[in-house]
Chains A and B, each alone.
Chain A
Amino acid sequence: MEIWRLPISASQRGKLISSGYTSLSSLSSISSSDLARELKVSESEAMNILKVASHSRGSETSNASCSIVEGAQSAWDMLHDEESLMHITTSSADLDNILGGGIHCKEVTEIGWSSLSLIVNSVLKYKLTTAFSSESIIFMLIGGVPGIGKTQLGIQIAVNVQIPNDFGGLGGKAIYIDTEGSFMVERAFQIAEACIEDMSEYNRFLRKDFQECKIKMLPQDILENIFYFRICSYTEQIALINYLDKFLSEHKDVKVIVVDSVTFHFRQDFDDMALRTRVLSGMALKLMNLAKRFSLAVVLLNQVTTKHTEASFQLALALGDSWSHTCTNRIVLYWNGNERYAYIDKSPSLRSASAAYSVTARGIRNSSSSCKRIKMM
């Protein structure tokens, strides 16, 4: 019964089946007015159904000899595509190192928090990972306790994506979706100023012998290129993700979406857990789709919750196992003594490693402690 495969509403499907149309071929030779009459629906609805059916059928006949399915790419082509993609730096060299250059486009990354007990005490020798050094993270989930620096990292990324191409950045704009209200414009201004100062310093250092070319960017320009959305409920969040499709086709130079935090509205007042799982998986798929189609990086910030397993309490990222499964990469932020550390928990191509970073007045920077080695797990 091939009608199952069509993305039409349940009532339309029921009407089609009860009138005897159970396969796509039976819809091939009928006109929309006849169909409207038989199903007792409006003509526009009937035309819609026929359009969907012929689209499904059309994909059957257009069987290109070069690719097995439309839109498939061979792994060899993808390897070369990835090598030419660019990174968004996090402004901390250690963090960039373990991320393989920085945050990358086309994936979703989650950053979270973890208790120290999950980190194994054995520290392996630091090895150069040449096999993985050319890869980068794209879809990220970042999670942590309040105060660990998630929002700071989010703002830093939104600023760093705008570093122009001449300085090794992407020169793109950012979308910042704020659900908690933790975005401080003054802080963003401060970080933007520090970023421009660093760029002119780098400029001076490198082009010593040439005329000093001034950086024409002002902090106001950087702030202007961050599109900020404030969300107050989960329905608004879903509506916004659906709207982003249209927004991104109009603003093609957006290169990163930061969602802070993705779980806030799903934790309280949600009685129906099954609905929550469905909505979250649907949202994750839509974000993946956006990331792939528009070649952008998606960074999600998450919170932590306590899990009670085997009479002990453990801190885990909020929203459960299904959500952990949906994100491509996961970074966990944690305290180790007095220092902040980031640990790669899940990645298809990067080795698990942790690095220290610190939050300064100028934004996220390398940790200034004496122990600066990257710990490989």
Chain B
Amino acid sequence: MARLANLETEYPVLDSTVRNFCASHGIFSVEDFLIHDLYMLAAFAEQNDSSERLKEGIAQVLSIIDDMHQPWLNGMELLEDAKRNKHVFPTGIQGIDLLLGDGIHVGQLTELVGPSSSGKTQVCLRTASNVARNHMVLYLDTGNSFSPQRIAYFLGKTISPSSAQAKNQFLQKVMSNISCHSVFDIFAMFDVLHQLESYLRCQDGRGGCQMRLLIVDSISSLISPVLGSSSTLGRALMTSAGYLLKKLAHQHNLAVLIINHTVGGEGGSSKPALGDSWKCIPHSRLFLSCDRGSNTYNVSILRHPSMASGKAARFVI
């Protein structure tokens, strides 16, 4: 929200008299305006000498505020939007796709939680290789665990045997759709998401291959260094990261997949990291675990908007 001083160039009504009056009530920016009691302000304006100018100024600020909020949508418009834009992407892993109905939803934040070495990165790589056939994918990597060889392996498994050159071309086409970026602290991640937002705003206008999947591996490594100290900055960064991801998912029709790890809970059981404040931010949460020494993994639903929680399945990678 801009300071009133900066708005003067666009709206000459907000000149120094209006601003001095507002400053006398502790209002420096449009946001302060919102918090203030407007009836009181209008009453004070009446009593002032240049009440006409002040009333014009107040009305102007109110009209600026009206432009700022999101438009109202009714149920039919939401349904239209859901049918047209909010598709479901299969992950390519049979067990998980069966468990979730069809796969991960566009417009929603899906979280994979699990102890170390339980297959979370593998699921993300598999999903990325599946979605990259037709759409673009952005993979944000915090632990140097993105493996192009693995993606090539997954793609190689699904293609029918053909000439080496055709296979190479197919690999090139699909793998050029996946972009991988390393981020090592949370501020860098915010920068990247902001750049992504401007890219997506341009993308919505044109056609062609569009970005539909964002993977953050793993968001808990970015948040752990700032969470838990005496200041509340860590929790604020965590919740604003969550909201930013959900906003990107909904407005630009992305499916967002994030990875979290587990910490020890009461009685020796493991619970997801990042605490209770994070618990309600992702739309769906899946708990992964691995049977020691074999290739089978277990996945169970902790939270999902349309499937019952507690359902479990096994899958093999």
Contacts and interface: CB of A to CB of B under 8 A. Distances in A.
Contacts of B148: 75-76, 78-79, 82
Contact of B181 (A71, A132, A327): A71
B122 A348 contact: yes
A352 B291 CA distance: 13
Interface in B125-173: 125, 132, 136, 138-139, 142-153, 156, 171-172
B268 A56 contact: no
23 contacts: A4-B237, A59-B195, A68-B138, A68-B179, A72-B180, A76-B148, A76-B178, A82-B149, A131-B153, A274-B229, A275-B229, A277-B228, A278-B228, A289-B184, A292-B184, A321-B261, A321-B264, A325-B220, A326-B143, A327-B143, A348-B121, A348-B146, A377-B293
Secondary structure call for the A interface: mixed
A22 B31 contact: yes
A141 to B, nearest CB: 10
B255 interface: no
A356 interface: no
Contacts of A138: 144
Contacts of B262: 321
Contacts of B29: 20-22, 26
A59 B237 CA distance: 20
B306 interface: no
B316 interface: no
Residue among A69, A74, A75 with max Cβ neighbours from chain B (10 Å): A75
A22 B218 CA distance: 29
Interface of B: 1-3, 6, 28-29, 31-32, 115-117, 121-122, 125, 132, 136, 138-139, 142-153, 156, 171-172, 175-182, 184-185, 187, 190-192, 194-196, 198-199, 202, 211, 218, 220-222, 224-229, 231, 233, 236-237, 240, 261-264, 268, 270, 273, 292-294
Contact of A278 (B225, B237, B268): B225
B299 to A, nearest CB: 18
A263 to B, nearest CB: 15
Interface in A97-145: 106-108, 118-120, 122, 131-132, 134-135, 138-139
B221 A325 contact: yes
Residue among B211, B236, B294 with max Cβ neighbours from chain A (10 Å): B294
Given A23-B1, A76-B172, A326-B143, 20 more contacts: A20-B31, A26-B1, A26-B2, A63-B202, A67-B179, A72-B179, A74-B178, A75-B179, A76-B176, A82-B149, A107-B145, A120-B293, A131-B153, A139-B143, A277-B228, A278-B228, A292-B182, A325-B116, A326-B221, A348-B121
Nearest to B224: A281
A310 interface: yes
A285 interface: yes
